[in-house]
Amino acid sequence: MIVEADLLIHSAAQVVTCASDVPKRGAAMQDVGLISDGAVVVNDGRILAIGPTESIRERYSAGQTINASGKVVCPGFVDPHTHVVYAGDRIDEFEQRIRGATYMEIMAAGGGIVSTMHATRNASVEELVEATLPRLAQMLRLGTITAEVKTGYGLDLDSELKMLEAIAALDLAQPIDLVPTFMPAHAVPPEFNGRSAAYVEWVINEMIPAAAEWYKNSHFVADGRPLFCDVFCEQNAFDLEQSRRVLAAGLEHGLPAKIHADEFTSLGGVELAVDLGATSVDHLDVTTAEDIALLADSDVVGIVLPAVNFNLGSNEFADARALVDAGVAVALSTDINPGSAPCPSQPLVLALATRYQRLLPAEAFNAATINAAYGVGLADRVGSLSPGKQADLLLLNCTDFRQVTYQFGGNLVEMVVKNGRIL
């Protein structure tokens, strides 16, 4: 008996599934679940079946078919760490850095995150949405179909809630599924200069409860998407104890934890993430061997962000090779933001990770799909081509998925399919 479905994509040179019931680690990261001459069947916006074209065609037909010969079919990319919602830009700081200033010097002088905070406080929800839509459109063209998005440029109650409103509006206004993260502890705002302890109290007692209340009434709850809580655990930002208190308060209010740790200084953020059962620990540029072992032993996803190092002109990258070899579930992300990484492109991140972090093409692919989905708590619905999951997939204009890491600076994404619909 032939089953009738909505869409059948067949004859793909390769179907790359990235399927896994658990975050991929170690040798499993080298397996992308490759099917040569593959086919994918979609019904009702979900994946119904995957397999070799011949056997799929014996069992399924569809109203719409796509001949994918000469193409690769793969899951849409998941970008698990972004600050894509902001107003203004930091082109002047970019030039200051070219002239020799460092990211941390600019931040200590009141620029950096705080400069984007001023622009963001002055923008309305509508203006934030207008400024962000073109960036999300670029990400989509480059293959990202799910993205986490942080607040953290408001740094007062109204402006942080305004950022959450903008994220919710953006989620409904364009195809990328957004996963919100509340991050009032991204920097100490100027009105709390020298009083970071008081700001942390304010975050814990006022802001996190308000965000949890906002979340309860948002469409994200109905859709089963979490609201995460994140903190920048770093010198001149929040120390380890402050980070612990912020994340613990988030957890108390039902917000799972993420943490920016070991970007410039190792303050113990990895141990904290493991201790609290965080969903992810992000950056990991200066993580110690001891902490790598600790992380490998945990369920916390390690998210590395090589576009940051590249953008800051550094030749030191997180040791993703050591992380994978130790058994950490590694994910990759752009960290798109106006300061440390104005980069919408997961394919460029894969290109960087395979060169500067010596990840194999297959490892990088899994890191930007299935492991990234685990890193945002949505692996039950995105991140791989598996029956039952959302039909979020890409047609790539190449016959070997490794081309996506081998080439850089262009765009091999030829077609984006979201919930079974061709965009």
Q: Which residues of the shown chain bind ligand NIG in the complex (CB under 6 A)? A: 83, 112-113, 116, 232, 260, 263, 308, 335, 337-340
DSSP element (H, E) containing 196: helix 196-202
Shorter beta-carbon distance to ligand NIG: residue 8 or 284: 284
Task: Report in angstroms how near the CB of residue 188 gets to ligand NIG at its nearest.
Answer: 13
CB of 118 to Fe ion, least distance (A): 19
Q: Smaller CB distance to Fe ion: residue 181 or 369? A: 181
Question: CA–CA distance from 6 to each of 42, 75, 196, 420 (Å)?
Answer: 6, 18, 55, 8
Nearest partner of 164 among 178, 151, 146, judged by Cα: 151
Give the nearer residue to Fe ion in terms of CB position, either 20 or 120.
120
Q: Which does 340 bind (CB under 5 to 8 A by kind): Fe ion, ligand NIG, none?
A: ligand NIG
Closest to ligand NIG by CB, 51 vs 268, is 268
Taking the complex as a whole, the smallest distance from the CB of residue 281 to Fe ion amounts, in Å, to 12
CB closer to ligand NIG out of 72 and 259: 259
Q: Which does 377 bind (CB under 5 to 8 A by kind): ligand NIG, Fe ion, none?
A: none
339 binds, among Fe ion, ligand NIG, none (CB under 5 to 8 A by kind): ligand NIG
Binding site for Fe ion (CB under 5 A): 335
Least Å from the CB of residue 87 to ligand NIG? 12
Distance CA 21, CA 254 (A): 24
Question: How far apart (Å, rounded) are the C-alpha atoms in residues 262 and 285?
Answer: 6
For 73-139, the DSSP string reads: EEEPEEE-------SS--HHHHHHHHTT--HHHHHHTT-THHHHHHHHHTS-HHHHHHHHHHHHHHH
What's the rounded Cα separation, in Å, for the pair 214 and 37? 47
| CB-nearer residue toward ligand NIG: 84 or 207 | 84
Smallest distance, ligand NIG to C-beta of residue 335, A: 5
Phi, psi of 161, rounded to the nearest 5 degrees? -65, -35
Tell me which residue has its CB nearest to ligand NIG. Answer: 339
Sign of CA dihedral 298, 303, 309, 315: positive
What is the Cα 142 distance to its own chain's centre? Answer: 14
> Least CB distance from residue 260 to ligand NIG, whole Å?
5
